[in-house]
Amino acid sequence: MTDHRDAVLRLWGRQLYERQGEPLAWAEAVLEATGRPPTAVTAAMSGRLDALADSPSDRAWLLFRTVAKLAANLRGDGRYDADVGTRISPLALWLGELEPPLAGPLGDALGHPPDGPTSLVTVHAAELSRNRTIGLRAIDALLEWAELGHPQARAALSEVASDHRTQDVTVWTKALNRIALFGDASVEPGLLRALADTGHRGVRWSALACAELGFRRAVPLITALLEHPDPMVREGACEALGLLEEHAAVPALAARLNDETNWVRSRAALALGQIGGDRALAVLWQAMMERRNPKASHLASAIAAFGPPVVDDLIALTTDPDPDLRALACRALGSTADDRALPALERLAAHDLARTTLGGLVATAAKQGLRTAHRIRARTAST
């Protein structure tokens, strides 16, 4: 049995067990399907492992012992084993393979045919159209199957992603959060429709899913979301444009550096850092120099993302008369972890006791920058 098949069977066993309203009655039916003596079934259902001592040690013995542990767990009489119930289905399937005449009765007792995973995935796909609680459980299960590469699960998830109008929004967005597991070109038309539906509560996730899959046709629609009244949508649009590294979006993202919501400003700066290029850097540098926002460390972090080309300019900024700008330069230099930055940071950490607009010391910002630089350098050296 390959490692992949082991993983498939473990997941199948866990999900099948979790669906049982009466796990002990279900386990007893599985034991009865083995055709072993009723006395052995009774001994296992008693939850006492010693009661199985007189049972023959044959191919079904491990299954009987597992059910005995489950019975003890559920009655609180034994040492608890959280996974014991999940082993019943794989053990029953294994027994059916060793003794083919038992495959049918065991499959009936388990509640799904011995091919297991495919039949269970079919059930989960059908459950997506039921109430939200069941739909969320089903989408979680399908995502687990998709992670193991199950084609039917991926197809079911693609169908969910392709039509936001027929899905509960919570179920739909949960699928889109893992779009990389199953998404391909077939979902693009549906995601573009969802992206154009700006009143839909999941429009933010539409933008991020399109960006995750690299759908560049979505860029105009995502850029338009930068003006959406909901700050979460604006923030998601910034993130999506950063993931796409969309240079044409630099002017629109520059406007978001003045957004009324702080986390939108931060995400816009991060996106400009991801996009890179002279225009994005000029926008960030201008915003930092104008000091429109005293809490502008997000601008410093975004500028640091440009790496070595900005280090000399940041070092020059550590001599600026404005304590706010010196403090921001310290934070940015620390994030670059560049050798050239260390002397300037050490000098300010030792001597610059000027206070910023927010009341902090430039020396404190320099010390924080040094700690950041040393942490990054240590992490780089270890890898």
pLDDT in tens, 77-136: 767 788 999 999 999 989 998 999 999 999 899 986 555 667 788 888 888 888 899 999
User: Which residue ranges make up each domain of the chain?
Assistant: 3-115, 184-275
Residue-wise pLDDT for 195-244, tens only, equals 999 999 999 999 999 999 999 999 999 999 999 999 999 999 999 999 99
Q: Kindly indicate whether the domain formed by 184-275 is annotated with CATH number 1.25.10.10.
A: yes
- CA dist., res. 331 & res. 309, Å (int): 16
The residue type found at 271 is: A
- Radius of gyration over every alpha carbon of the chain, rounded to an integer in angstroms: 30
Distance CA 142, CA 325 (A): 51
Dihedral, 69, 75, 76, 82 alpha carbons, nearest 10: 50
Question: DSSP assignment of 240-277, as one string?
Answer: HHHHHT-GGGHHHHHHHTT-SSHHHHHHHHHHHHHH-S
- Give the 3-state secondary structure of residue 115: coil
Q: Round to whole Å and give the CA distance between 268 and 266.
A: 5
3-state secondary structure of 290: helix
Number of residues that this document lists for the chain:
383
For 128-164, how does the pLDDT look when each residue is reduced to its tens digit (9 = 90+)? 888 899 999 999 999 999 998 899 999 999 999 999 9
* pTM of the shown model: 0.81
How far are the Cα atoms of 301, 302, 332 from residue 270, in angstroms, in the given order? 8, 5, 13
The one-letter code for the residue type at 9 is L
| CB-count burial class (<10 Å; 0-12, 13-18, 19+) for 78 | middle
What whole-number distance in Å separates Cα of residue 363 and Cα of residue 368?
Answer: 9
pLDDT score for 241: 98
Contact predicate 210/218, CB 8 Å = yes
pLDDT of residue 113: 54
Amino acid at 116: G
